[in-house]
Amino acid sequence: MKHPSATVAIDFLLEPDSTMQEHAEANNARLRKVFPKGFALDATHRPHVTLLQRFVRTADLDKVYAAVGSVLAGVRLGDIRLEAFKYYYIPSQDIGLAGIVAKPTAQLLELQQALIEAVTPFTVETGDSAAFVTTPEDPVIDPALIQYVSVFVPKASGEHFNPHVTTGVAARKYLDTMLAEPFEPFGFSFKGAAIYHLGQFGTAAKQLKAWD
């Protein structure tokens, strides 16, 4: 598969089980009711927990897949159990990108560290809009997202890791009331792992490689 850019922005993610899937879809439906311009959880917005985002050389993608595959060979994804315990959102002017947050575990952090080490030889410092999946209507990637991917390690990994499933977009005023509601914690696990090509909002826009 040819990418027009020498660099590609990738998202290594875990695909949650049906329990988290149902919670994420219910929250997404709620947010779309109040903010119809937001996105649906569909083929280009799969509910997922991101473990790692990086810019890598496009020419090295097959090597990245092989390196990640060897890490995953020693992992039983179904044995990784997380507890979802609250909603959160990332503000952007008067709207927010909302999600369900889980508590990190030692097992999850070990897997993340192993992935960071496996992908490091193929990583480049940063990229531009061409490294992402874009549309003709929205061709320029938010510079804040480019910066986020550039510094994911160490800024959003290890002790700073915030495992979450993004569920949608809404006005911050509405999200503030949602966050104030009581949240019923629930446990969930994972059914698969994949590498996706990142799109606008940091969405998992296009699957590049998957593991069950």
Sequential pLDDT tens for the chain (212 residues): 455 689 999 999 999 999 999 999 999 999 999 999 988 887 777 789 999 999 999 999 999 999 999 999 989 999 999 999 999 999 988 999 999 999 999 999 999 999 999 999 999 999 999 999 998 988 999 898 999 999 999 999 999 999 999 999 999 999 999 999 999 999 999 999 999 999 987 888 899 999 97
Rounded-to-integer distance, Cα 134 and Cα 178, Å:
31
- The 8 Å CB, 24+ separation contacts for 132-137 are 132/9, 132/197, 132/198, 132/199, 132/200, 132/205, 133/197, 133/198, 133/199, 133/200, 133/205, 133/206, 134/199, 134/200, 135/200
pLDDT, position 3: 52
Whether the CB-CB separation of 3 and 133 falls below 8 Å is answered with no
| In the chain, domain spans | 7-211
Rounded-to-integer distance, Cα 109 and Cα 146, Å:
23
Residue in 151, 156, 141 with CA at minimum distance from that of residue 55: 151
Length of the chain: 212
Rounded-to-integer distance, Cα 104 and Cα 13, Å:
14
Angle at 25 between CA 181 and CA 90, to 5 degrees: 55
pLDDT, position 121: 97
* 3-state helix vs strand vs coil in the chain, percent to 5: 40, 35, 25
CATH number of 7-211: 3.90.1140.10
Beta-strand ranges (E) seen in 44-163 are: 49-57, 82-92, 95-102, 123-124
Q: What is the pTM of this model?
A: 0.90
DSSP 8-state symbol, 137: T
